[in-house]
Structure 1
Amino acid sequence: MHPAFADLLPSAGLRRGSTVAVLGSVSLLLALLAEATAAGSWAAVVGVPTLGLAAAEELGVEVGRLALIPRPGVEFPAVTAALLDGVDLVAVGAAGVNAQVARRLSARARHRDAVLLALGHWPGAEVELRCEPGRWSGLEAGYGHLRARGVVVHARGRGAAARPMSTRVLLPGPAGSVAQQEHNVHAIFSAEVG
């Protein structure tokens, strides 16, 4: 887990057997996958047809350790269950997944010591991370390149994650991956967001 997110999760990282829902940001989902794949874990993304490999790589995901199943169709539960059996982290598009299937897949992740990351609301998720978009920086006097975007990530959940937490990060930071929010960007971001 990137240190910027460590305070948001009960065990300062993605705990094996857990289910985490990510709301409002594919970039946040990719940032969570980045640290794990860089450390040698394998990951898969199921049912997120708009996810791009170039964006994943820019945020630090080791794409050689990432399988994409963009449109599993009616086989979504079976494909996801099979991946949970053999892959460290499985990210899924949560749109249209009924509560019974969600509970079965979370139980499978627990049983197989995998991490299930849901992009969208997921019934029974231990932790829910919500990303509030912020201000982009890099354009000066109407020209330049977008370099970084300050966001606020909120976490809430059950058990050890019951106490709501928030952190400000750059997603992406100037180097393209997640970065701790610097003071000068923090001041600009605070004035913009409140």
Structure 2
Amino acid sequence: MATTVAAALAAELGLRTGADLRRAAAGGTGVGADTAAAPGTAGAGLAAPHGAAHDESRTSPAIGPPKTILPVTPDISALLPHGGLATVTAITATRRGATSLLWRLLAGPTAAGAWCALVGLPDRYPLAAEAAGADLGRIAFVSAAGPRIADAAGALAEGVAAMVVPSDGLTPPQARRLTARARKGGTAIIWWETRPVAGPDARLKVTRADWKGLRANTGRLWGSGGLDACELDVTARWRSGGARRARVWPYGGDPAGPATPWSWGECP
């Protein structure tokens, strides 16, 4: 039933689904193919962390290559194990600046023409998404609450290229089933991690958020003035055992430097 609903939705709205975005083995076609050879975009080769293959085989079941790799912005690319948005990613929702990171994560796929959906996440500020580079015309905001979150997410799986879902909206068995469908069908799942989920390919966490443009204001929590830019320090832990960190400017500002590899002992 869910697959039928997703197919009908895709046909009616002309959605570019995960299947449309799959890259062929010999170079790929569709979204992501044109950027495959561009540095810092989806498809650009990233050296695997030393010992990553050994760690993954030891700690988790073998997983085949993703069917879809969605392009992301250069400042996000090196934080992800495949250089682009693929299969399952988690963002630690409780961290200040997490919403800005989410919008920046969606900027690349939507700018490339991919459809994304936010399920059961009310009170998001869409103009911030636009400021971060996301195409609002390619983002569906789906109102759902309680058990309807799992129903809506299941119906949209394989019908959109990427989907953001609050982890506490699904039971652990439901989350596992949705993850399995994502891996099989090529839809990228982004867990808005309000409750820990098992086995994301990458878990992104904002360790520091600094807003530029505010001036100190004695006796008040927030300063005066206008916000010019936001600077985020982001860490990424990969399922394979790798780790990265990068500085991201979701709304403009200084150009972000490349992400750097680091060891588990250095993770904050």
- Shorter chain as denominator, the TM-score bin is 0.7 to 0.9
Deviates most, 6-15 or 68-77? 68-77
| Aligned ranges 1:141-180 → 2 under 5 Å | 144-159=225-240, 162-174=241-253, 180=255
Q: Quick one: which of 89, 110, 123 aligns to 1:20?
A: 89
Q: Give the greater-gyration-radius structure (CA).
A: 2
Q: Which runs of 5+ in 2 are unaligned?
A: 1-71, 218-223, 258-268
Larger relative CO (CA 8 A, sep 6+): 1 or 2? 1
1:133 is matched with: 208
Shift, 1:58, TM fit: 1.9
| Aligned ranges 1:25-174 → 2 under 5 Å | 25-120=98-193, 121-139=196-214, 144-159=225-240, 162-174=241-253
Q: Which runs of 5+ in 1 are unaligned?
A: 183-194
Kept in 2, the 8 Å contact 1:72–1:79? The answer is no
RMSD: 1.9
Shift, 1:181, TM fit: 3.3
Per-residue CA deviations over 1:151-179 (Å, capped at 9, x if unaligned) read: 111000212xx2111011223324xxxx6
Q: Secondary structure at the match of 1:51?
A: coil
Q: Which has the higher helix share?
A: 1
Q: Which has the higher strand share?
A: 1
- Aligned mates of 1:70, 1:91 — CA distance in 2: 12
Shift, 1:80, TM fit: 0.4
Aligned structure 1 segments of 4 or more residues deviating by more than 6 angstroms: none
Per-residue CA deviations over 1:63-85 (Å, capped at 9, x if unaligned) read: 11111113243122221011112
Identity %: 34
Counterpart check, 1:3 vs 2:74: yes
> Which residue type is aligned with residue 79 of structure 1?
A
- Aligned mates of 1:180, 1:95 — CA distance in 2: 35
With the length of structure 2 as denominator, give the TM-score of the two structures.
0.60
With the length of structure 1 as denominator, give the TM-score of the two structures.
0.82
Alignment length, in residue pairs?
174
Shift, 1:22, TM fit: 0.7
- Aligned mates of 1:95, 1:180 — CA distance in 2: 35
